[in-house]
Structure 1
């Protein structure tokens, strides 16, 4: 060719009907291919993102060049998606490219009436409906490991149930009043979720067995998880805290109650985009009631915080966009909101 900047020719290879499948993603594909010949033009195409020149690269750091075929410009999906802050993946079974969130799989609906049926039903893509009653997780056979995603971890006075890498799971209590989940060990959380997403808890009352006493375990713990929805539920003590969240984002807590917890209502560390709506935090004691550390966009709206004897009602550090809008603080330990100038208390009252 006379113009070295324009390389025009034919190459033969394995491509998909969408073309960008294996070439752009840089993944190994095992599905039956379609062989074709494609005429392409490399014309020193430049990509700018928000005014900044972007050079896409493959997984080995080599430059990837966009090309033109039949008037259509083809760009490398993987590199471009990551530049835009989106994850990209390839599903060889369905021959699908996913950019950002994957479409939710349809959850299988299961109705259970006892804790053994509940345990058997646990897993991803499940909508578990619990018939009225009390489900004591400590009654389960704890020598049995269901899978790599559902297992037991030892704590000081027993075992704790762990749900790891679970996606699209709903636990919904049936009936007019919440269905109760309990555990007996004082050092175990009622449920611990790790690396999980799209978890919904509806019409559930959860805590430790009724007798009061010192404990370390909380009610629900979320670690490295996202898209959590807790509604119409009651989280009570003992546990130490109603919610323990670490490196978690997009949690919604609505029309629900956290009460009588022995350390405080919640401790949030490295969290993002939490919304507490139309809920109550009451009758908790001892340490920080609401502890927020290195987190952003934690919003309480139309919540009532009342009758708490915690030594500190609020502890906020290294965090931003913390708001209490249209909330009511009533009958708590002494609390001075002016000590938190970075917290927005718009429409909130203090009694």
Structure 2
């Protein structure tokens, strides 16, 4: 298929679903075409200045496969999509019998058009049903047609009764039926490439990564729980086509004692959670980051200690018949750069944990409502513009009581953390600016203007955040870099769109391979990092590497021709023992531990070896 296309035809209202199919086809090594492909493929569609009618005609006439996405919208719509349908049917009349050209796909329940051109209609052809944008079967079929069969085996069904059986069964293309409840705390991880443990402050949490077309259903609503206070019950990362139903999921300590969410999805697509009970005492019922097409249906979410859910950079989150109740909340829903629909949902019987908390705290987020009831009693308003349609607002307030020592326990009076701690990726440099207002509240606000310590702390922190945003002309997110005792900070990022060589430099440097080209790019990155040193700053491994390299350049009096990393170790920052050159390249530390470490590098430059220790924005270098 090197010179052929899968043409994706869709209604503009279904753009995000079509873009999901595009990504999936690319992942399978196929070559799709659509007019508006997703990033980073956006320049492979219609280009500026092209005559779109001519271009579409040319692509359809040369395409090997034509994939129309049928929805209730596309089958009734007039305009471009119908023109594409007609062109495909005309081309189909010229295709020899037995050759596959059109592969109809229904993305929701609808009737495929029966209109005929040259005696041919789409309704004559067998179609695929790809609900919730799960294109696993379709892409597998196309890959097989092109001689690129998938490596997974046939879809299997397996019953599980224990935590060990559950973790062992997790893999792509499997249907898992949970027959009995269990706890995931303290379970030995089986030999499974899709499951691993991640350390949290008071234990470990399970992370499920890279599974596709996997369903997890319960019989009799079995309960899956965890008990570490900081652990999320189930984490899914970089997974597509995940369906969870008929389960009760949550934490087992008393309400108000957990700082982990119930469900977390990161960089996932085509997610469905249905007929489930998500209970705290965790922070949120669910957290979403970088996800596309998520459906939460017929679920109860209750006894959470921070709010209903958080989402960031999420396309097409749909909540239908979801009830959120009996919870302690800061802002109930926190959303950034997302699109969300509520249909037949209720948010009632919840208590605000502080002054100035709202139901919705949103930034660049599109919200749509239908037959949704929200009670704002005890909160500082809805948090949205007045006159919204489809939402009924009441002011009844919570009808349940919680002891004040639970509501205002010491570990909960701290400012609300980010929905999920930002961890440094290989293609970016994170800069953590310490919240200087944390122990200097009276320099920012008047204590008498606030009802309690938490409200004053929060107000001071917001003032500091506003100042650094203006000072550096940058966006910041909240972070916590202090284990045990909170050390709040704000994090911003220098990514490859600012310095394109960041991914390449970091990948080669931390692989231990020599760098002989583009060495001056380290100084370019430093020029972007250094302005932040006017404040108290903490860096993770990538940022520390930039300072370490600059310290080597300064010691040498110029730029070397060749550098290589022999070792890296995050060391205890208060250990004043003589620096020892590390011999292995270790992983970066979690964000939560950053305030406790200094970064130690063993770097060779033009045959000279250096040990460099980076602590905050300072670097100490010596030759060895």
1:182 and 2:225 aligned: yes
Instruction: Specify which of 140, 160, 179 is matched with residue 187 of structure 2.
Output: 140
SS of aligned partner of 1:312: coil
1:129 and 2:144 aligned: no
Provide TM-score, normalisation by structure 2: 0.40
Residues 271-317 of structure 1: CA deviation (Å, up to 9, x unaligned):
11011111101112131111111112x01111111111133211111
Residues 100-124 of structure 1: CA deviation (Å, up to 9, x unaligned):
xx9x986311111111111111111
1:94 and 2:144 aligned: yes
Partner of 2:384: 340
After superposing the two structures, state which structure 1 stretch, 209-218 or 146-155, moved more. 209-218
CA distance in 1, matches of 2:390, 2:153: 40
Question: Do the aligned partners of 1:170 and 1:199 also contact (CA within 8 Å) in 2?
Answer: yes
Provide TM-score, normalisation by structure 1: 0.69
Instruction: Specify which of 223, 243, 250 is matched with residue 200 of structure 1.
Output: 243
CA distance in 1, matches of 2:295, 2:313: 16
Q: What does 1:53-202 align with in structure 2 at a 5 Å threshold? A: 53=51, 74=62, 94-96=144-146, 107-132=155-180, 134-141=181-188, 144=189, 146-175=191-220, 178-202=221-245
Measured after TM superposition, the shift of residue 327 of structure 1 is 1.0
Q: Going by fraction, where is strand more abundant, 1 or 2?
A: 1
Against the structure 1 CA distance between its residues 246 and 196, is the aligned structure 2 distance closer, same or farther, given a 3 Å change threshold?
A: same
CA distance in 1, matches of 2:296, 2:284: 14
CA distance in 1, matches of 2:387, 2:312: 17
Question: Do the aligned partners of 2:168 and 2:192 also contact (CA within 8 Å) in 1?
Answer: no
1:313 and 2:313 aligned: no
CA distance in 1, matches of 2:296, 2:141: 33
Against the structure 1 CA distance between its residues 106 and 76, is the aligned structure 2 distance closer, same or farther, given a 3 Å change threshold?
A: closer
1:283 and 2:331 aligned: no
Against the structure 1 CA distance between its residues 185 and 341, is the aligned structure 2 distance closer, same or farther, given a 3 Å change threshold?
A: same
Higher relative contact order (CA 8 A, sep 6+): 1
CA distance in 1, matches of 2:196, 2:214: 16
Measured after TM superposition, the shift of residue 251 of structure 1 is 0.8
Partner of 2:50: 52
Residues 122-144 of structure 1: CA deviation (Å, up to 9, x unaligned):
11111111114x21111411xx4
Against the structure 1 CA distance between its residues 150 and 329, is the aligned structure 2 distance closer, same or farther, given a 3 Å change threshold?
A: same
CA distance in 2, matches of 1:291, 1:334: 14
CA distance in 1, matches of 2:257, 2:263: 18
Against the structure 1 CA distance between its residues 280 and 137, is the aligned structure 2 distance closer, same or farther, given a 3 Å change threshold?
A: same
Question: Do the aligned partners of 2:157 and 2:174 also contact (CA within 8 Å) in 1?
Answer: yes
SS of aligned partner of 1:52: coil
SS of aligned partner of 1:206: strand
CA distance in 2, matches of 1:276, 1:200: 15
CA distance in 2, matches of 1:316, 1:272: 14
Residues 55-74 of structure 1: CA deviation (Å, up to 9, x unaligned):
xxxxxxxxxxx99xxxx964
Measured after TM superposition, the shift of residue 212 of structure 1 is 3.6
CA distance in 1, matches of 2:387, 2:198: 38
Measured after TM superposition, the shift of residue 342 of structure 1 is 7.9
CA distance in 2, matches of 1:131, 1:90: 30
Measured after TM superposition, the shift of residue 76 of structure 1 is 9.1
CA distance in 2, matches of 1:179, 1:90: 32
Between the two proteins, the alignment pairs up a number of residues equal to 275
Measured after TM superposition, the shift of residue 93 of structure 1 is 7.7
Against the structure 1 CA distance between its residues 192 and 343, is the aligned structure 2 distance closer, same or farther, given a 3 Å change threshold?
A: farther
Partner of 1:323: 368
Partner of 2:291: 248
Question: Do the aligned partners of 2:155 and 2:174 also contact (CA within 8 Å) in 1?
Answer: yes
Structure 1 unaligned residues grouped into runs of 5+? 1-20, 26-46, 55-65, 78-85
SS of aligned partner of 2:258: coil
SS of aligned partner of 2:167: helix
Question: Do the aligned partners of 1:324 and 1:343 also contact (CA within 8 Å) in 2?
Answer: no
1:264 and 2:334 aligned: no
Against the structure 1 CA distance between its residues 343 and 189, is the aligned structure 2 distance closer, same or farther, given a 3 Å change threshold?
A: farther
Question: What CA RMSD, in Å, does the superposition of the two structures yield over aligned residues?
Answer: 3.4
Against the structure 1 CA distance between its residues 73 and 263, is the aligned structure 2 distance closer, same or farther, given a 3 Å change threshold?
A: closer
After superposing the two structures, state which structure 1 stretch, 145-154 or 273-282, moved more. 145-154
CA distance in 2, matches of 1:92, 1:257: 38
After superposing the two structures, state which structure 1 stretch, 105-114 or 156-165, moved more. 105-114
Measured after TM superposition, the shift of residue 213 of structure 1 is 4.5
Larger radius of gyration: 2
Question: Do the aligned partners of 1:326 and 1:347 also contact (CA within 8 Å) in 2?
Answer: yes
CA distance in 2, matches of 1:247, 1:254: 20
